[in-house]
Structure 1
């Protein structure tokens, strides 16, 4: 009967057990570090639509800081799912790990068949207490406490481009959403819009976004590499 060398040599068995323990402990520590990093410091988001093009195109990878939830005008934020479903800490942690090991291609809990069940990137254009109205797809903002309206571009901290063209024949949605009357944002409410004003659903459809749905601020576009830059 063939015997394993580990059956006779205590030192070899001990060394093997030590290696197994080292690999196990290292794996647990790496997983714990990644979980904390993705939940507290920064996590990647793969963009699945053209709503924020041309600044952030489809299939781009953007990093979001989850603790930065007080955006300024012009910031791009992650708007959390709006279907009322709240994930537990372990579901968020598992989502982050699975996304990491699948190169951000799959998240078991984050995706939904409903539009409101998916998070998305949108640009913050008005803050709590601001007055806003839209004309021909351009947002006009009167900051809280001021007396004059300015365009979204005059108030944004950095320039950006919009995708706007004439509505297609028979498209009543675009015609209705290209303009709206003045209203005032309430406390803890943000008005967000897609840079692609033709196809991206945003505050024109859902209304103002409460602070509780702000999932963090997008700070870095990491892929494609030729567009690697801070946002």
Structure 2
């Protein structure tokens, strides 16, 4: 009787160990899978900023891909953080898992304000373009072209911008400028702007960005569902 009880107890312990190992392996597979997908395919971002309204509303979620080759005028991109040191690969993967299982509601680094505010902007001009801005609208002349057209006519994507009319006596030194003189982008330079033209901080302040400054390209806004749109 005692031998049978011992054998039963041993089998229970062995089954319990198998269950624990299976759960750990399952979690590790999910962890590795999300890490690989986030690194090489797609990941989600929650935007709490008003800089890309109206097409990307505040507190909306969007899908991005780290594949940023063949950028076009009108593409939405996420810029690499200039305010904080980047997370390690392990920390990035761990944070991705936490966000995945909480529907983007919680982050392991929620107290890090710089990382919680991704800089999402739209490409309005490519390397070699000559551009100027008038009344918050960019006019673009590609290299080898003799005519300026508006950013909307040159863009391969359809998008909307938010512009608030200011009084005629408004001091243009306040806030971001709505006009600037013609300038030509150098090799590898991209001019990016927020769609909310009267409040976003962008290339008007920083200057043009380079390809290595771009972390990801936007694919779609998927939440709120009523605001779904391809980017």
Determine the structure 2 residue equivalent to 1:17.
17
Query: Taking structure 2 as the reference length, what is the TM-score of the superposition?
Result: 0.87
Note the residue ranges of structure 1 that are not aligned, 5 or more in a row.
Answer: none
Count the aligned residue pairs.
Answer: 226
Give the superposed CA RMSD.
2.5
Determine the structure 1 residue equivalent to 2:93.
93
Determine the structure 2 residue equivalent to 1:149.
148
Determine the structure 2 residue equivalent to 1:138.
137
Q: Structure 1 residue 158 and structure 2 residue 154: aligned?
A: no
- The correspondence of residues 87-126 of structure 1 with structure 2, limited to 5 A, is 87-108=87-108, 112-113=112-113, 118-126=117-125
Note the residue ranges of structure 2 that are not aligned, 5 or more in a row.
Answer: none
Determine the structure 2 residue equivalent to 1:74.
74
Cα separation, 2, equivalents of 1:6 and 1:91:
44
Q: Answer yes or no: is the 8 Å Cα contact 1:141–1:149 preserved in 2.
A: yes
Determine the structure 2 residue equivalent to 1:208.
208
Cα separation, 1, equivalents of 2:191 and 2:214:
11
Q: Answer yes or no: is the 8 Å Cα contact 2:176–2:198 preserved in 1.
A: no
Q: Answer yes or no: is the 8 Å Cα contact 1:112–1:118 preserved in 2.
A: no
Residue 38 of structure 1, CA deviation: 1.4
Q: 1:160 to 1:86 in 2, by over 3 A?
A: same
* SS of residue in 2 equivalent to 1:222: strand
* SS of residue in 1 equivalent to 2:96: helix
Q: Mean Cα displacement is larger for which, 63-72 or 132-141?
A: 63-72
Cα separation, 2, equivalents of 1:42 and 1:173:
40
| CA deviation profile, 1:5-60 (whole Å, cap 9, x unmatched) | 78852222221111111111111111111111112211111111111111110011
Query: Taking structure 1 as the reference length, what is the TM-score of the superposition?
Result: 0.87
